[in-house]
């Protein structure tokens, strides 16, 4: 997501101190990686006050918007990590994560960039460590090549596919779908949404 540096970014991030992830936040929690502006994770946390959520995003300019949204909603069950998913094992103990959401991750269409995809083996290996035995990895994308790659990568890395669709909105069961900002844009353009749910 391209975005200019936000004005007064550091001061505004500091003002969101109460939603920065840190020791003391109650685990287990559900994780969204690459939360962007935070529409999905804020709505999900709001709808499930009895559960805990953590959102990870490496772009501080977009993350700032997500954090300000969480502060304005007064969400006590959501915290944020500004950083790369490759460092997740530094934040979570083994089995601490109840589920992981990847929503409209960058597809990195060139093969030489495959290692940057959030469903590459190097990321799946980290997810496997922090995911609890019953946890699910839930992935939505508009991008078919990325979706096909993800299915292959999940299978090659011993994840079990629980469900999959290349047209989420044609499904009778929408799995309590919460739309993300990217999802709303793609739907308005008539693009089909793919979804896969997997476990270890």
Residues known to be catalytic: 106
Q: How far is the CB of 108 from ligand SAH (least distance, A)?
A: 9
**Residue 37 to residues 3, 60, 193, Cα–Cα distance (Å):** 11, 10, 19
Residues in region 112-141 near ligand SAH by CB under 6 A: 118
CB–CB of 141/105 below 8 Å? yes
Question: Is 44 near ligand SAH (CB under 6 A)?
Answer: no
CB–CB of 41/62 below 8 Å? no
Question: Is 56 near ligand SAH (CB under 6 A)?
Answer: yes
Task: Please enumerate in sequence order all residues whose Cβ is within 8 A of that of 36, keeping only pairs 6 or more positions apart, or say none.
Answer: 1, 57, 62, 66, 103, 104, 180, 181, 182
Question: Is 143 near ligand SAH (CB under 6 A)?
Answer: no
Question: Is 105 near ligand SAH (CB under 6 A)?
Answer: yes
Instruction: Find the radius of gyration of the CA atoms of the chain.
Output: 16
Task: Please enumerate in sequence order all residues whose Cβ is within 8 A of that of 21, keeping only pairs 6 or more positions apart, or say none.
Answer: 54, 79, 80, 81, 91
Compare residues 160 and 191 and give the one whose CB is closer to ligand SAH: 191
CA gap 85, 139 in Å, rounded: 15
Compare residues 62 and 151 and give the one whose CB is closer to ligand SAH: 62
Residue nearest to ligand SAH (CB): 34
Q: How far is the CB of 36 from ligand SAH (least distance, A)?
A: 3
Q: How far is the CB of 57 from ligand SAH (least distance, A)?
A: 5
Compare residues 12 and 120 and give the one whose CB is closer to ligand SAH: 120
List residues bridging with 55 in a β-sheet.
32, 80
Q: Which residues bind ligand SAH (CB under 6 A)?
A: 1, 33-36, 56-59, 62, 84-85, 103-106, 118, 180-183
């Amino acid at each position: 997501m391209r975005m200019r540096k936000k004005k007064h970014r550091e001061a505004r991030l500091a003002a969101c101190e109460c939603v920065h992830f840190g020791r003391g936040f109650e685990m287990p929690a559900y994780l969204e990686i690459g939360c962007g502006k935070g529409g999905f994770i804020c709505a999900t946390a709001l709808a499930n006050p009895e559960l805990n959520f953590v959102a990870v995003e490496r772009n501080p300019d977009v993350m700032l918007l997500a954090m300000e949204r969480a502060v304005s909603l007064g969400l006590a069950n959501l915290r944020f990590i500004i950083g790369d998913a490759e460092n997740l094992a530094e934040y979570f103990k083994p089995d601490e994560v109840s589920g992981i959401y990847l929503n409209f991750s960058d597809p990195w269409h060139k093969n030489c960039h495959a290692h940057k995809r959030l469903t590459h083996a190097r990321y799946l290996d980290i997810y496997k460590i922090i995911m609890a035995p019953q946890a699910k990895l839930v992935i939505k994308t508009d991008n078919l090549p990325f979706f096909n790659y993800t299915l292959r990568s999940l299978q090659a890395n011993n994840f079990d596919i629980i469900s999959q669709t290349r047209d989420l909105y044609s499904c009778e069961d929408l799995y309590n779908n919460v739309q993300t900002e990217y999802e709303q844009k793609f739907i308005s353009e008539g693009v089909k949404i793919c979804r896969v749910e997997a476990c270890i």
